Every structure is written in C-alpha cells, then in structure tokens.
Chains A and B, each alone.
Chain A
Amino acid sequence: MSLIARHFESNGLPTLILGSGLDILQSGKPPRAQFVNYPLGFEAGRFRDKKNQFEVVQHALGGFETMLAPGIKPMPFEWPQGWDMIRDREKNQLDQRSPRDTTPQYQTEQDRVLAGG
C-alpha cells in the first residue's frame, strides 16, 4: 500500500493510509499514515460498531489537514476485546491462508454464478 501511496503523492495527489500494521507502514514510509492498533481486518473500525467506525474514519481523515510533513501518527483508539476475539480464533493455528493460484476465489457460490464464473 505504501508503494501506491508514494506513487500518487509523487504525482501531486495527497494520500493518507489508514492502517493497522505499524511495522509494515514504517517499512514502506508512506507520505501520511494514521495507525489504529486494532487487529488486521478492522482498519476502519470495530465489528458492528457504527459509531466507532465513524469516529475512526473521521479521525483518520483529519490527518490530511493536521499532518504537515511525512509520518505515521498513532490514533487514540483501543480495543482489548477485539484482540481477545482474534487470539481465541487463531489459537493453535499457524497459518490459514489459501493456496496461491489463478482461480477467482468467490466469497459465496452465488457470487460465482452471478459473475458468470
């Protein structure tokens, strides 16, 4: 994502990453990033919590006006219950990613049918 941000920024378009992988952001040195310390998959807010999602996105976007130099800013949001949820789910599971091939991976069988797949 940092590669994409750096590219568009160098074209003169201001970018801002809303991300949850701090070390990944630090490695990529994007122009502007807001770091929310939630598990991956919740970059835009807590599960089924519309108020928190609104607040996270609003706070993040504020970075366009408040960040005056390249950097990664930590956001003031915490979610211990979210980390507990992920920890319980991932217990004893080393890696759950799917095989890498060139078959489209539909979320549902109905999606595949509707896409003519």
Chain B
Amino acid sequence: MKPQPIEYIRRTRENYDKLGFKPYDWFSADTDPAFARITKPLSESKLGMISTAGTYVQGQVAYYYKDDTGIRSIPKDTPIDKIRFSHIMENYLVEARQDPCTVFPIEALKLLQQDGFIGDLADNYFSCMGGIYSQNRVKTELIPNLETAINEQAIESGAIDLLLLVPL
C-alpha cells in the first residue's frame, strides 16, 4: 500500500505535549504567496540553494540548537566528505551524516549543470537552522542574513535567477 504522508504538525504537537515542551508554532500563512515568473529556461538560468538542515563545512563553527539565526556559506565545490550537519532533529540526520547528498544535493546539482539541465550554479550555497521557535527572529534576523549574503554574492559573482530551498 502506498504510504500516506505523515502528519508532522499533529505528531510533533502530541509529542511535545507528552514531553512537556513548549508548543512549536508552525508558520501558518493566511495569504497567498507572491509568484515570480521565470524569465528564461532552467538551462540558461543560474541556480542558488538554501538548506535548513544546519549544514556546515568542516572547519566552520557548527550551529547551536537554541534559535540560531546565523547562516553558513557552502562553496559549490565542497568535497562531500567535508559536509556536516548540526540540527536539533538529529534523529533525521543519521544517514545524511554518512551521505550528505540525501538532504544537501550538492552532487546532483553539479551533474545537472554538467548535463546542461541547469545553466549555471552559484559559487556558494547557504545554510541555516530550521526549527527556530521565534518566527519574529526568522523574519528580523535570519531572512535578512540570507538576503545580505545572496546580495553580496550577486555583486561579487553575478546574481542568481532561481533559488532552490531544501528543508530538513
């Protein structure tokens, strides 16, 4: 039988209640999102990526688990065996810590560019933590941090046309 999608929000709420944790307030949108049209085919576009799996490169300072709103820059040519994860949901990272490409598709993106499926890749991808309790801090600290990094990279090596987002 085809597995049904897991109800993560309900499951987390029930688990947190049992454990006595403060309820996690998932973002619930009350308006429709903006929608930006693509201006050229994927094969002519430059792609960036953001991971919320707490991805870092060996040698960088790891993330901490209490509302860390910092970001890390992950060069697109980082060797796979140097990619690490520090994320509060460590139980979801058992395999990713052996094969980072299950949640951070650095290798697939490289192959897709070599095949001409993607026009170009950003020099650096960016990562951050997920599971941040304060939506306000996501809006006032984390998103501006990401925006600054993406804008600075655009000045240094050209703007991206598309942004892939891979959560944990």
Contact = CB atoms under 8 A, between A and B. Distances in A.
Q: Which of B32, B34, B41, B85 has the most CB of A within 10 A?
A: B34
A18 B97 contact: no
A3 to B, nearest CB: 5
Contacts, number: 254
Interface in B10-39: 10, 15-16, 18-19, 26-29, 31-38
Give the interface size class of chain B: 35 or more
Contact of B117 (A58, A80, A107): A58
Contacts of A62: 42
A34 B122 CA distance: 21
Interface residues of A, number: 81
Q: Which of A2, A57, A108 has the most CB of B within 10 A?
A: A57
Contact of B5 (A1, A22, A69): A22
Interface string B100-123: 011111011101100001100000
B62 A90 contact: no
- 4 A-B pairs with least C-beta separation: A29-B29, A41-B92, A44-B105, A57-B108
